[in-house]
Amino acid sequence: MAGLNHRRTRLTPAIRELTQVARPASRQFIQPLFVSESATAREPVPGLDGVWRDTPDSLLQQITADMEQGINKFLLFGVPATRSDRHFDHAFTAAQIAAVKAEFGASVWLAADVCLCSSTSHGHCGILNSSGDQVENAASVAELSAAALLYAQAGADCVAPSDMMDGRVAAIRQALDADGYDAVVIMSYSAKFHSGFYGPFRVAAESAPGAGNRLTDRATYQIDPARPDDALQSSQRDAAEGADILMVKPGLPYLDVLTRLSDAIPLPWAVYQTSGEAAGFNLLARAGLGDRARLNVEAWTACVRAGARMIISYDARQARDWLGS
């Protein structure tokens, strides 16, 4: 009797192509973009090769270039020039959304990140109480839903709350529907962990909680890596509140969570391959210890294997070249 023979189905590229199960393709990718109000010329993001903090002008050029690379789905982070404790101006980010939509219309799918950490004087994702040791949930949610509505009015196809306040999905859904934006998608960062893999992002978004704060980190609102059940519960909650797309973030260190949650909740799942993950691959490649394309393709394959239907990656604009489709 013949034993198990995998060598036959691994022998040629043709038979390997025919037998693969998890196959990421560039159409599943979302490219993050940063646009800064204070930058006078576009600036590279440290650690993220080929990623920039754009000016309003260079943002449009970047999107044009990305579309030539087969990427037409974006997640925009606006970085306004002014910061405040309690009174925020979301007009800069809204204006960038409107400009992208005026230029590219429906040929681009544009998600807008909704958070306050690039706008608060202290870098937290919400509004702090007067003693500065707690994030106020209700006040933060009210501000986040106001921002989400402005972004929808500016033409965003999707709003993506990344703040991790309780109840923000319900509040945003209600604000959008009440103003006629029932077609705008909510992609919730429903399983976002308190992670060390966010370093380059915080430089790009100017969103690191400052060392001078009484509250020095995001542990009181982001999920503890040692409490995976919290991720299931908050994702179930966000689904019940009306989220259309759920997300696990970061990617590789949380593939167990992605597998479990995507099995449990039949909504489309996104995975966010964070800035720290991407920068790690870039460092390996620069040291001659790994191939950047191969590292990314392997990580993306793992994400799809674990249940991701879409991938937010700083290297999305390379996906078609690296994946061949």
Instruction: Give yes or no for residue 35 binding ligand PBG (CB under 6 A).
Output: no
Minimum CB distance to ligand PBG, residue 193 (Å): 9
CB nearer ligand PBG, residue 125 or residue 191: 125
Three-state DSSP at 113 gives strand
- Residue 9, both tokens: 């189905």
Minimum CB distance to Zn ion, residue 195 (Å): 13
Q: Which stretch binds ligand PBG (CB under 6 A): 59-67, 150-158, 226-234, 270-278?
A: 270-278
- Nearest Cα neighbor of 169 from 101, 256, 115, 241 is 241
Which residues, numbered 194-233, are part of the site for ligand PBG (CB under 6 A)?
A: 198, 201-202, 207, 218
Minimum CB distance to ligand PBG, residue 103 (Å): 24
Three-state DSSP at 270 gives strand
Residue 198 contact among ligand PBG, Zn ion, none, beta carbon within 5 to 8 Å by kind: ligand PBG
Instruction: Give yes or no for residue 122 binding ligand PBG (CB under 6 A).
Output: no
Which residues, numbered 119-138, are part of the site for Zn ion (CB under 5 A)?
A: 125
DSSP string, 128-164: E-TTSSSEEHHHHHHHHHHHHHHHHHHT-SEEEE-S-
CA dihedral 133, 169, 195, 150 (to 10 degrees): -80
Catalytic residue among 42, 90, 124, 249: 249
Residue 48 contact among Zn ion, ligand PBG, none, beta carbon within 5 to 8 Å by kind: none
CB nearer ligand PBG, residue 163 or residue 183: 163
73 in active site: no
- Nearest Cα neighbor of 119 from 205, 225, 195 is 205
306 membership: H or E segment, kind and range: none
Q: Can you point out the beta strands (E) in the chain?
A: 29-36, 43-44, 52-54, 73-79, 109-114, 127-128, 135-136, 158-161, 185-192, 245-249, 269-273, 310-313
Residue 262 contact among ligand PBG, Zn ion, none, beta carbon within 5 to 8 Å by kind: none
192 in active site: yes
Separation CA 242–CA 174 (nearest Å):
9
Minimum CB distance to Zn ion, residue 93 (Å): 13
Instruction: Give yes or no for residue 119 binding ligand PBG (CB under 6 A).
Output: no
CB-side exposure of 106: number of CA atoms within 13 Å? 0
CB nearer Zn ion, residue 42 or residue 192: 192
- Residue 191, both tokens: 């399983």
Catalytic residue among 73, 124, 192, 260: 192
The residues annotated as belonging to the active site are 192, 249
Give contact residues for ligand PBG (rule: CB under 6 A).
113, 115, 117, 125, 162-163, 198, 201-202, 207, 218, 274-276
